Amino acid sequence: MNGILHTKMVSPNQTVVTQFVLQGFSEHPSLRLFLTGCFLSLYMMALMGNIVIIALVTSSTGLHSPMYFFLCNLATMDIICTSSVLPKALIGLVSEENTISFKGCMAQLFFLVWSGSSELLLLTVMAYDRYVAICCPLHYSSRMSPQLCGALAIGVWSICALNASINTGLMTRLSFCGPKVITHFFCEIPPLLLLSCSPTYVNSVMTLVADAFYGGINFVLTLLSYGCIIASILRMRSAEGKRKAFSTCSSHLIVVSVYYSSVFCAYISPGSSYSPERSKFTSVLYSVLSPTLNPLIYTLRNKDVKLALGRCLPSFSH
């Protein structure tokens, strides 16, 4: 990475970086064509799949329920997540050097943190929705009222936007005057902290707090919801009742498993053992693969979504 980078002088012996180089996958030139094809295909699939989900939920009266309202929100965040990462990654794969301005890097970081944390909160809200539907079916319509669902969605978007603003704001306060190459294919907190030439203690603490809340507390709440759901299903006497109850939450359970697995692989590790190669691989799982798989999982495993899609595409229902 020997390209000319823009910097500004702050003292005779120090410069502040105003433009970074995203390393991407430049250390594997033989994989460039393969990765370009894969990423472009996955991005198109993620965009089309999530747009279809949003269109089906908004246009089909049979999908006007809390579960699908939150699914629509999840699809929106999937689009934001993958769109904040893949276009720039694709540019890096087809160009000799992939530079990004400091402001562009901070914008990418904001949208990635916002969408990623929102997905974790939404998955918890969706787990609670399934808990109420299966464990308290007689009170479902009163507990999951349109007003509460709207408030939960606004709360998720707002809390996560605040979290993203705090983490991005703290990052802008750091000085970057050393190496300019980000060992990743997008602007992410760990590799950026490694490049800073100013103290990163506050940033590290806030990152740990956010990880504990989003990855820890939300995970426990989701597990509790599904623990109650499974216990309730096992108490059912009818085999048909058990099958129907499980079918209403199986898609969400798969999505939760895929997303949390990728997030834990990416972030639950000691800071001293940060590995750029492992980080890139795990980041592909939650920022590229998960947004692509979510629409497929909900479409192929959910009867209501398949029926709604069948009305739009008659051949799909056969």
CA distance 142 to 160: 27
8 DSSP 8-state letter: E
> Could you give the dihedral angle defined by the CA atoms of residues 16, 19, 22 and 26, in that order, rounded to the nearest 10 degrees?
-100
Assign 90 a pLDDT band (cuts: 50, 70, 90).
very high
Supply 64's token pair: 């006007």
Name the pTM for this structure.
0.86
CA-CA distances (angstroms) from residue 235 to 134, 230, 250? 12, 9, 18
In the chain, what is the greatest distance between 2 CA atoms, to the nearest angstrom?
Answer: 78
Residue 6: pLDDT above 60?
A: no
What was the pLDDT predicted at 3? 38
Residue 306: pLDDT above 80?
A: no
Contacts of 299 (CB under 8 A, 6+ apart): 49, 52, 53, 305, 306, 309
60 DSSP 8-state letter: -
CA-CA distances (angstroms) from residue 316 to 300, 309, 311? 10, 7, 9
Supply 52's token pair: 């279809």
CA distance 176 to 5: 13
Continuous segment of H or E residues that includes residue 198: none
Q: What is the mean pLDDT of residues 7-23?
A: 64
pLDDT tens digits for 58-85? 988 878 889 889 999 999 999 999 999 9
> In terms of DSSP bridges, do strands 14-17 and 7-11 run parallel, antiparallel, or are they unpaired?
antiparallel
Look at residues 122, 62, 121, 101 and name the one whose alpha carbon lies nearest to residue 303: 62
pLDDT tens digits for 136-190? 888 899 999 999 999 999 999 999 999 999 999 999 999 888 788 888 889 988 8
CA-CA distances (angstroms) from residue 129 to 70, 190, 226? 9, 34, 11
CA distance 252 to 159: 22
Q: Are residues 119 and 259 in contact, defined by beta-carbon separation less than 8 angstroms?
A: yes
Residue 292: pLDDT above 70?
A: yes
Look at residues 176, 211, 209, 169 and name the one whose alpha carbon lies nearest to residue 191: 176
Q: Are residues 116 and 82 in contact, defined by beta-carbon separation less than 8 angstroms?
A: no
Supply 141's token pair: 């319509």
Radius of gyration of the chain (CA): 22
CA-CA distances (angstroms) from residue 188 to 60, 81, 105, 111, 222? 38, 13, 9, 11, 26
CA distance 188 to 266: 11
CA distance 203 to 108: 17
Helix axes 32-59, 303-312, angle to 10 degrees: 90
Give the torsion sign (CA, 208, 227, 74, 259). positive
Residue 93: pLDDT above 50?
A: yes
What was the pLDDT predicted at 269? 55
- Helix or strand or coil: residue 177? coil
What was the pLDDT predicted at 286? 83
pLDDT tens digits for 115-142? 999 999 999 999 999 999 888 888 899 9
What was the pLDDT predicted at 4? 35
pLDDT tens digits for 187-233? 988 889 989 988 999 999 998 898 888 888 888 999 999 999 888 88
pLDDT tens digits for 242-287? 887 777 778 888 888 888 887 777 665 544 556 777 778 888 888 8
What was the pLDDT predicted at 224? 93
What was the pLDDT predicted at 161? 96
